[in-house]
């Protein structure tokens, strides 16, 4: 299992990025009781047989990571949900893309902590390559209420390539300001 839910979400979003997606949308909705996440991409997609294989922790296609013998993103999702009473679903169509749905019960004692949301968003925004990432963040808890949408292209226009330490510091400051209302 991952240390935080953000670690798991980063892993699954990286799958979307590595599936040759030109557009990825991450919807991240938090309440006091639940965290609901959708990861939608227009990448390679998977047929039913490949999706079944991807659920096996000992399967890897050998292409994305030629020296790795296992792929654990989807198996960790399944394990986390089984241990915490969460819900998940993956819909995928070859050459159309994939949608991963996750609903975490934040009140279950075995649910990992959410983790560093700003760090997650920063990590997703700086994956290399030419792609659009849209992050839709909704948070309605006792302590905070905020809604915002981020587009990688708009942030790149404002901050540059997000490759230098100063660009990343500005990105982090901006994400913190959005997250803290």
Per-residue pLDDT, 66: 45
pLDDT along the chain (181 residues), means of 10: 86 91 98 98 92 71 48 81 94 96 96 96 94 97 92 92 89 91 66
Per-residue pLDDT, 58: 62
Query: Under CATH, which number does the domain 5-179 receive?
Result: 3.30.565
0.95 exceeded by pTM: no
Is 54:45 a contact under the CB 8 Å cutoff? Answer: no
Residue 2 and residue 66: Cα distance in Å, rounded? Answer: 23
Is 131:22 a contact under the CB 8 Å cutoff? Answer: yes
């Amino acid at each position: 299992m991952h240390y935080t839910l953000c670690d798991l979400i980063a892993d699954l979003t990286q799958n979307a990025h590595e599936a040759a997606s030109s557009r990825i949308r991450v919807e991240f909705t938090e309440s006091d009781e639940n965290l609901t996440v959708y990861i939608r991409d227009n990448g390679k997609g998977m047929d039913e047989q490949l999706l079944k294989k991807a659920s096996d922790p000992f399967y890897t296609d050998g292409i994305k990571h030629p020296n790795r013998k296992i792929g654990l993103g989807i198996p960790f999702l399944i394990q986390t949900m089984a241990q915490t009473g969460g819900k998940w679903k993956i819909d995928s169509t070859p050459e159309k893309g994939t949608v991963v749905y996750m609903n975490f019960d934040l009140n279950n004692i075995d649910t990992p902590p959410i983790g560093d949301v700003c760090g997650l968003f920063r990590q997703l925004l700086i994956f290399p390559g030419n792609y659009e990432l849209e992050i839709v963040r909704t948070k309605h808890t006792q302590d905070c209420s905020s809604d915002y949408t981020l587009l990688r292209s708009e942030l790149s226009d404002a901050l540059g390539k997000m490759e230098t330490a100063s660009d990343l510091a500005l990105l982090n400051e901006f994400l913190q300001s959005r997250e803290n209302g």
